[in-house]
Amino acid sequence: MTALNSNTPKVGVRNTRQRTAVVDLLNELDNFASAKDIHRELDNRDAKVGLTTVYRTLQSLADIDAVDVLHMASGESLYRACRTDSHHHHLVCTQCGTTVEIDGGPVEAWAKKVAEEHDFDLTGHDAEIYGTCSKCSKA
């Protein structure tokens, strides 16, 4: 899938100037960002988008799988434009935030097996891998 487009159905039916500003910024980001970080950058650009609107837009984009969401241990959620329609996971640098989309590989089979062993119908799972990228490791 290509980057989010403010004219595509994935952005949603109600395409406002504020919503378009959020989507356009998400398309520019290579790394995950919090709603507050996104709001701060929009503010720096004089986009005049309220924090509540940023949260609502991110939630509606998450609801239709147009953004990837990382749920951090701190309780904060981080967002990034989803680059693919296929199921995937992320490798995330804990130093600089560099993110690589990766195939789940063995995780997919393991999740299915564990669900079956416990008589569950698998409806989804999350698996993210955190570490330090080569640039940060060398620094």
pLDDT tens string, the chain, 139 residues long: the values are 445 655 444 555 567 889 999 999 999 998 899 999 999 999 999 999 999 999 999 999 998 888 989 888 788 999 998 877 777 888 888 888 888 888 888 888 899 999 999 999 998 888 888 899 999 999 8
Looking at residue 2, its pLDDT comes to 42
Residues spanned by the domain of 14? 9-81
Looking at residue 38, its pLDDT comes to 97
Angle at 133 between CA 131 and CA 139, to 5 degrees: 115
Asked if 112 and 122 touch (Cβ cutoff 8 Å), the reply is yes
Asked if 80 and 38 touch (Cβ cutoff 8 Å), the reply is no
Q: Which residues are annotated as a binding site for Fe cation?
A: 87, 108, 125
Looking at residue 139, its pLDDT comes to 86
Q: Which helix (H) or strand (E) holds 100?
A: strand 99-102
Q: Based on the structure, what is the number of domains in the chain?
A: 2
Residue 115 belongs to a domain with what CATH number?
3.30.1490.190
Tokens of 21: 């500003």
pTM: 0.73
Q: Are residues 114 and 60 in the same domain?
A: no
Q: Are residues 18 and 60 in the same domain?
A: yes
Q: Which residues are annotated as a binding site for Zn(2+)?
A: 93, 96, 133, 136
Q: Which residues are annotated as a binding site?
A: 87, 93, 96, 108, 125, 133, 136
In a domain, 98, yes or no: yes
